Amino acid sequence: MPSIRSALLACVLALTLAACATAPPEGLQPVTSFELNRYLGRWYEIARLDHSFERGMSDVHATYALRDDGSIRVINRGYDTQRQAWKEAIGRALPIGDSGTASLKVSFFGPFYGGYHVIALDRQNYRWSLVAGPDRDYLWILARDKTLPADVREQLVAQARTLGFAVDKLIWVDQQRPDAD
């Protein structure tokens, strides 16, 4: 039977690992003077680094809405090109730290959260953003429209390269289907 000391150590280890999964990657600073209410709404995925949970998906978009309890409802939708069907995942996000800092922790799987850090943003119009996860294996270029001007794309890719992301591995997301919702 485990001792109380072992159980406490396990809890501390679990909390430490959870904190690491939500912190921004070393050397990256989330946007400050962030206005969550302006960020809410629909964002189209322009480009991403590959991950199993999005592999083979086109027409990916996310919708963020404020809940009564102050958390954020996250609905991710994309078209599974192999199955030829829309897929949807619903999650919950919570601000990390100061509400004026663009860092959230997001969960699609119960108590397990991952970091979502806006590291570049169209501060004037909130039309595009560059988002990092908990490490440099996670990167998204998002926009309010299904396309992004070439000069903005190039600027975001250059910034991501400077920050140490493998931009040569970006997947440019096809956004040709009409929204299904």
Residue 11: pLDDT band with limits 50, 70, 90: very low
- 10-14, 29-33, 106-110, 137-141 — which is least confidently predicted? 10-14
Instruction: Give the separation between CA 116 and CA 101, rounded to whole angstroms.
Output: 11
Percent of the chain with pLDDT over 70: 88
Tell me the average pLDDT of the chain: 88
Instruction: Report yes or no: 94 and 112 within 8 Å, Cβ to Cβ.
Output: no
Say how many C-beta atoms besides its own lie within 10 A of residue 3's C-beta. Answer: 8
Q: Give the helix/strand (H/E) hosting 139.
A: strand 139-143
> Is the predicted pLDDT of residue 10 greater than 90, yes or no?
no
Q: Which is more confident, 16 or 153? A: 153
Q: What integer pLDDT is reported at residue 181 of this predicted model?
A: 67
Dihedral sign from CA coordinates of 83, 128, 25, 89: negative
| Residue bearing tokens 């959870």 | 18
Instruction: Give the separation between CA 23 and CA 134, rounded to whole angstroms.
Output: 6
Residue 122: pLDDT band with limits 50, 70, 90: very high
Nearest one of 84, 47, 44 to 173, comparing CA atoms: 47
Residue 164: pLDDT band with limits 50, 70, 90: very high
- The pTM of this model reads 0.87
Residues 6 or more apart whose CB falls under 8 angstroms from that of 72 comprise 36, 40, 64, 65, 66, 92, 93, 94, 104
Q: What integer pLDDT is reported at residue 109 of this predicted model?
A: 86
